[in-house]
Amino acid sequence: MALGEIEKKHGKLTTKRVKKRTFVGMDIEFMENGKVKITLEDYIKECINDLKDDVEGTAATPADKGLFEINEYSPKLSKEKHENFHSIVAKLLFVSKRARLDIGLTIAFLCTRVSRSTEEDWKKLLTLLKYLQGTTNLPE
């Protein structure tokens, strides 16, 4: 819908065109070549800071090769860790759908584990956070 059509229906509007805008946690930058760069750098840093004591260093990939392996004997997470796990996975699901397609597979798997998260799943989440720590400002 063009601005003129909107103004016909709602009256005169004041508009402001900017190169950079933050909207719903997304940093949106309009590039000179007509492309749009979307990052969620602050949002990712918030997820990492939620577990800053456990996230040390970086990882080369979002997941290790055993991502889809489930150890039935791995201890269940404590209530507090389980809530943190669920919260961070939900936040990173938003990130994966908006700006970081590279973490999509790992997040898809971790989403299947939120109702019965274990220590093994916690380690997988930490690997993902280490990867994000090393690639925080990577745009898609």
pLDDT at 111: 97
pTM confidence score: 0.80
pLDDT at 1: 65
> Which carries the bigger pLDDT value, residue 107 or residue 10?
107
Dihedral sign for Cα atoms in the order 48, 94, 140, 19: negative
Sheet strand arrangement including 26-30:
20-23, 26-30, 36-39
Residue 138 has pLDDT above 90, yes or no: no
Residue 14's alpha-carbon distances to 3, 28, 30, 65, 129, in angstroms, are 10, 20, 20, 53, 41
Q: Residue 105: what pLDDT?
A: 97
**Pairing, β 36-39 against β 26-30:** antiparallel
CB 52 within 8 A of CB 66: no
pLDDT tens, 67-121?
999 999 999 999 999 999 999 999 999 999 988 999 999 999 999 999 999 999 9
Burial zone of 96 (CB within 10 Å; 0-12 exposed, 13-18 middle, 19+ buried): buried
Element of type H or E holding 60: none
For residue 8, pLDDT beyond 60: yes
Indicate the pLDDT class of residue 27, thresholds 50, 70 and 90.
confident
Write the pLDDT tens digit of every residue in 28-75: 889 889 888 888 888 888 888 888 778 888 999 999 999 999 999 999
pLDDT of residue 139: 59
**Both structure tokens of 19:** 């190169």
